[in-house]
A and B are shown apart, each in its own frame.
Chain A
Amino acid sequence: MSNAIITVSDVVTRFGTNVVHDGINLSIRWGEIYGLLGGSGSGKSTLLKEMIMLLRPQAGDVRVLGQDLLTIGRDHAADLRHKWGVLFQAGALYSSLTVEENVAIKLREYTDLPVTLIRDIVRMKISMVGLPEQAAALYPAELSGGMVKRAALARALAMDPKLLFLDEPTSGLDPIGAEAFDNLILELREILGLTVVMVTHDLDSIWTIVDRFAVLGEQKVIAEGTLTEVLNNPHPIIRQFFGGSRGRIRRRDGK
């Protein structure tokens, strides 16, 4: 437990008769960027939802920041929710609030900071994620896809979380935007001391920013470790994943 921020052990998840997870084990360490990989339907997003208490596994054990999520009490759960930030796949910005209000909402609700200080913090976060200052007054409907992602990241970072969950952060971004987003996450990890858990399909992200990752498939974790460790795994799904033309190009270039 000493250096693990999240441990998942023997997790079983079923939707009706459909078994999604059958004994998932993995652990995520403090300060690392951890990737969850797998084909569509392999239960990556489901596992992420179980880590942030949106879903409850049928069996097993999920511990986040030392708390057991299956037996956690109300107060501890509230406390835990203040310590993480979540970036949803489509942003999930509140459409009736401006970007600035979206980012400020947790600060307004959970802290007693003066309004002017909140405004300064929010403006700084907005600029930190690379949005122009004018974007603060816009509504989510007026933003482009990339800007929505950035605004949602600013919202996730508002409370200076220890732990950041990203659900496909670079999907729907152009390659340049995706790379900038990756670099931003690296930089923020460096400075804010974040631990990042991300669900991703983006092979580029895996090559460049992810420290360790787990590949899900066949209801289990097929492989877990650093990139070189996973690449040496002979499992056919991993062969497929990294052996496809997209994976090969990247491999030839090296890192």
Chain B
Amino acid sequence: MESTPSHKAQIQQLRNQAADGAVPVQLQSSGDWTITGLKDVAEYLKKFAGTIHDVSIQWDVSDVGQVDSAGMMLFIRSYDALKANNCSIEVAGATSEHEKMYHLLRRYTHKSSLARPAFSSRFLNPLQTIGKKFVAFIVDFMEFLSFIGENFINLLYAIVNPRSIRFGAIVKNIEEAGVRAMPIVALTSFLIGVVIAYQGAVQLEKFGANIFIVDMIALSVSRELAPLITAIVVAGRTGSSYTAQLGVMKITEEIDAMRTMGFDPHRFLVLPRIMALMIALPLMIFFADIIGIGAGMLISHTHLHLSYAEFIHRLQKVLAVKHVWIGIFKGPFFAWLIAAVGCYRGFQVSKNTESIGRYTTISVVNAIFLVIACDALFSVIFTELGI
């Protein structure tokens, strides 16, 4: 490297200011005003510009070596700050290099960017953010409604023209979202059955009411837990994959390509996914019922010494078919929420890859929230109806 050893940027005030302000203040700066060594000078000048006003200043820069844009920017900023304090400034000893740099930066420095944001705007910023978020939420909700509307129209069209339904795509999606999800659904519902049985067993044993473990497991699993747990697993597994799949197609402009060829993405992509999940989820809930209750039976046998025959006999008595139907009945609703949100968020992905991750997360969070909210609504309705 052939550059000269760099001198640190320096600045000092030569003569102390007399009280009446008759004598000009003399600043002298030296060294290389480059990006690496400006910290001290910047602090000095900030303090200096904050305390001095209504004087004339002579600024000698003849000893300054190299100046880069950071150094010149610092000079310009201090110069403007002093000017604003009603000081008159004379700069002496600038080389032509310095002047060239000065004029270049002046051309691209805007007055507005030098001003600090006013206190009021800093105070108002949080409010502004809240307002913006709220408007964004409303807009988002309206867009979701219009998405649902479009989807519904397509559904009606599909019902009127059954030939337009993509049965192949539906079957493929059922396999992907339903059949392949069975191991994880089986595992989760088995564990849920185990947990319920254990928790119940400890309490019921105290009263010697061991047999009632059957009521507890059968009703809670079939009515609430199997549908909810299955829906949450599916939301995490399938809802997210719907968003990611459609998001990638959006980024690679496949969806635009489909539109130009006259393939409605709703008919080809959204409807098969929603229908597939609405068919698969109720079946999966029934599957989860069996596994969950089976797990409860296993634990009752090992822990409460309830024989399998006793368990099944009791089960036939307490588990009316309507409870199973109520659980399964929720399935299509949950499925519709999960699939609709997943597809909707997929279409929202914009052109950068980062947004796939963001919208996938949003999609899963939304879907799980909506499933639980919907479940709460069903609980209230069924209780009020006395079912």
Chain A residues engaging chain B, CB cutoff 8 angstroms: 65-67, 95-96, 107, 111-114, 116-117, 119-121, 123-125, 127-128, 133, 139-141, 159-160, 191-192
Contacts and interface: CB of A to CB of B under 8 A. Distances in A.
Interface string B346-368: 00001111110000000000000
Given A125-B69, A160-B68, A120 B352 contact: no
Nearest to B354: A95
B36 interface: yes
A159 B70 CA distance: 8
Given A114-B46, A117-B42, A124 B73 contact: yes
A120 B38 CA distance: 14
Given A95-B354, A121-B69, 15 more contacts: A67-B1, A95-B353, A111-B36, A114-B42, A114-B43, A117-B42, A121-B70, A123-B110, A124-B73, A124-B105, A124-B108, A124-B109, A133-B113, A141-B352, A160-B34
B114 interface: yes
Interface centre among B38, B43, B113, B350 (most CB of A within 10 A): B113
A142 B111 CA distance: 26
B352 A95 contact: yes
B163 interface: no
A133 B35 contact: no
Q: Which range contains the number of B residues in contact with the other chain?
A: 20 to 34
Nearest to B353: A95
A111 B104 CA distance: 23
A191 B104 contact: yes
B383 interface: no
B138 to A, nearest CB: 22
B2 A113 contact: no
Contact of B38 (A113, A119, A133): A113
Contact of A127 (B39, B74, B77, B108): B108
A170 to B, nearest CB: 22
B66 to A, nearest CB: 10
Interface of B: 1-2, 34-36, 38-39, 42-43, 46, 68-70, 73-74, 77, 100-101, 104-105, 108-110, 112-114, 116, 350-355
Name the residue among B36, B69, B350, B351 with the largest chain A CB count within 10 angstroms.
Answer: B69
Contacts of B70: 107, 111, 113, 117, 121, 160
B108 A140 contact: no
Contacts of B68: 160
A116 B49 CA distance: 15
A140 B351 CA distance: 10
Provide the main secondary structure of the chain A interface. helix
5 contacts: A67-B1, A107-B35, A107-B70, A117-B70, A125-B108
Contact of A113 (B1, B39, B112, B353): B39
A117 B2 contact: no
A95 B355 CA distance: 10
Scoring A123, A124, A125, A128 by chain B CB atoms within 10 A of each residue's CB, the highest score goes to A124
A207 B104 CA distance: 26
B77 A120 contact: yes
Given A95-B353, A114-B43, A191-B104, A121 B73 contact: yes
A119 B117 CA distance: 12
Contacts of B109: 120, 123-124, 127
B354 A117 contact: no
Contacts of B46: 114
In the A-B complex, the 9 residue pairs with the smallest Cβ-Cβ separation, listed nearest first, are A141-B352, A160-B68, A127-B108, A123-B113, A128-B108, A112-B39, A95-B352, A191-B104, A121-B73
A193 to B, nearest CB: 9
A103 B39 CA distance: 20
Contacts of A65: 1
B2 A66 contact: yes
Contacts of B69: 121, 124-125, 160, 192
B351 A141 contact: yes
Contact of A116 (B116, B350, B352): B116
A116 B104 CA distance: 20
Nearest to B350: A141
B47 to A, nearest CB: 12
Nearest to A2: B2
A191 B36 contact: no
A120 B108 contact: no
Contacts of A159: 35
A135 to B, nearest CB: 13
A159 B34 CA distance: 10
B106 to A, nearest CB: 10
B107 to A, nearest CB: 8
Contacts of B77: 116-117, 120
A67 B350 CA distance: 43
A191 B1 contact: no
A117 B70 CA distance: 8
A230 to B, nearest CB: 30
A168 to B, nearest CB: 21
B134 to A, nearest CB: 20
A165 B340 CA distance: 48
